[in-house]
Chains A and B, each alone.
Chain A
Amino acid sequence: RKEVEQDPGPFNVPEGATVAFNCTYSNSASQSFFWYRQDCRKEPKLLMSVYSSGNEDGRFTAQLNRASQYISLLIRDSKLSDSATYLCVVNTNAGKSTFGDGTTLTVKP
């Protein structure tokens, strides 16, 4: 079993749709959590950190459930420019960083 697992996707949604991605992690010592976005043949870029209380940034909402070792990302009112691969990232306090394999989102007109 992988340390970080994500919905395999791909997700194909129309513009304006709401879409949610899930991520589970196996290491209970994990301390910090992030969502990154990676466009085709580009490097990953930070989308948002994930805080215990949940956090929102515009159309994006991230949630963390430590008890279930589960992270989610919700995108509301999808735009064409949201099409990308979304990577769940889990860090331990010792600094090891584990990326999920990513979920691919395609937003269509």
Chain B
Amino acid sequence: GAGVSQSPSNKVTEKGKDVELRCDPISGHTALYWYRQRLGQGLEFLIYFQGNSAPDKSGLPSDRFSAERTGESVSTLTIQRTQQEDSAVYLCASSLAFAKGINEQFFGPGTRLTVL
């Protein structure tokens, strides 16, 4: 079946502009995660959704970052007034359930964001 998809695959923007990144999880997956990965570094947890509720937003770097999810489907991550330090690959993952031990995450290919 279809995996996690993300769009756009690449985004180049100018400093100060807003960007919106999209994630389509695997159908039926209730949990959805956003991560940021800077070049040569590990994954930085941003936010996760259980359904359309986001119990933990503590990973969002600043109030310029926000995310929403419609039902148990598409999620968008919005970065307002982008800065050069926002340049990274933004990865989305989904998992079937949220219960202990049943949350293998399947990742999308990521959106590579470059802020000039």
What residues make up the interface of A, taking CB atoms closer than 8 Å to B?
A: 31-32, 34, 42-46, 49, 87, 89, 91, 93-102
A31 to chain B: closest residue by CB:
B100
Please pick, from A87, A95, A99, A102, the residue contacting B31 in the complex, using a CB distance under 8 A. Answer: A95
Instruction: Let me know if B50 and A87 touch, CB within 8 A.
Output: no
B91 within 8 A of A: yes
Docked CA distance A48–B84 (Å): 35
Docked CA distance A89–B48 (Å): 15
B110 within 8 A of A: yes
Given the contacts A43-B109, A97-B33, A99-B35, A32 and B100 also touching, CB distance less than 8 Å: yes
**A residues in contact with B43, CB < 8 Å:** 44, 87, 99
Return A89 CB to nearest CB of chain B, in Å.
8
Docked CA distance A43–B6 (Å): 12
Which B80-116 residues have C-beta < 8 A from chain A?
A: 91, 98, 100-101, 103-110
What residues make up the interface of B, taking CB atoms closer than 8 Å to A?
A: 31, 33, 35, 41-43, 45, 48, 50, 55-56, 91, 98, 100-101, 103-110
A102 to chain B: closest residue by CB:
B42
Docked CA distance A101–B104 (Å): 18
Given the contacts A43-B91, A43-B109, A91 and B103 also touching, CB distance less than 8 Å: yes
Instruction: Let me know if A99 and B48 touch, CB within 8 A.
Output: no
**B residues in contact with A34, CB < 8 Å:** 104
Instruction: Let me know if A99 and B45 touch, CB within 8 A.
Output: yes
**B residues in contact with A42, CB < 8 Å:** 109
Please pick, from A89, A94, A102, the residue contacting B56 in the complex, using a CB distance under 8 A. Answer: A94
